[in-house]
Amino acid sequence: MAWVGLLPLMGSILIWTLPESPRWLVQEQKQNEAAQSLRKLRQSNDIEAELVEIQGEETAAIKEDLGISKVLLASEFRWPLITSLTLNAIQQLSGINAVKKQNSLFFVLYINILFERYFSIREICFLLLVFVMKKYFGEY
């Protein structure tokens, strides 16, 4: 069973040979290293257009920095934010988490008592057959 760990071990060793992400290097203001990494990844010296594009995208991302206050105040995020907060509050206040944990135990006990008291084995089998027929074959 020790052979199962060989692939992850090889991957953890070989990951150190991968070049850094050019985008991350541009974010860290390491332009020369980003160019070298991009040359190694593309296996070509024609990388200037792509490097300029990456730098432009990172500059735009820095200018468009969305802080928490901008997200809370932006009109395009207002309705999804209100909806998700309302649904989360309803879920917490309704106690549905406690019901989900206890539901399976109560259901099994209730069905067991109900079937032992009111139904015979033949009737239970018939009810299960009807349920399966409706579920898998539709109306018959």
Split at pLDDT 50, 70, 90, the class of 114 is low
CA distances from 99 to 63, 93, 94, 138 (A): 47, 12, 9, 30
Block residue for tokens 């349920």: 131
CA 75, CA 79: separation in Å to the nearest integer?
Answer: 8
Position with higher pLDDT, 29 vs 107: 29
Position with higher pLDDT, 11 vs 72: 11
Position with higher pLDDT, 77 vs 25: 25
Going from N- to C-terminal start, the domains of the chain cover 1-65, 67-140
Question: Considering the entire predicted model, what is its pTM?
Answer: 0.43
Work out the mean pLDDT of the chain and round it to a whole number.
77
Per-residue pLDDT averaged across 102-107, rounded?
A: 57
- Return the pLDDT at 119: 63
**Those residues with Cβ within 8 angstroms of residue 35's Cβ, 6 or more apart along the chain or in another chain:** 22, 47, 51
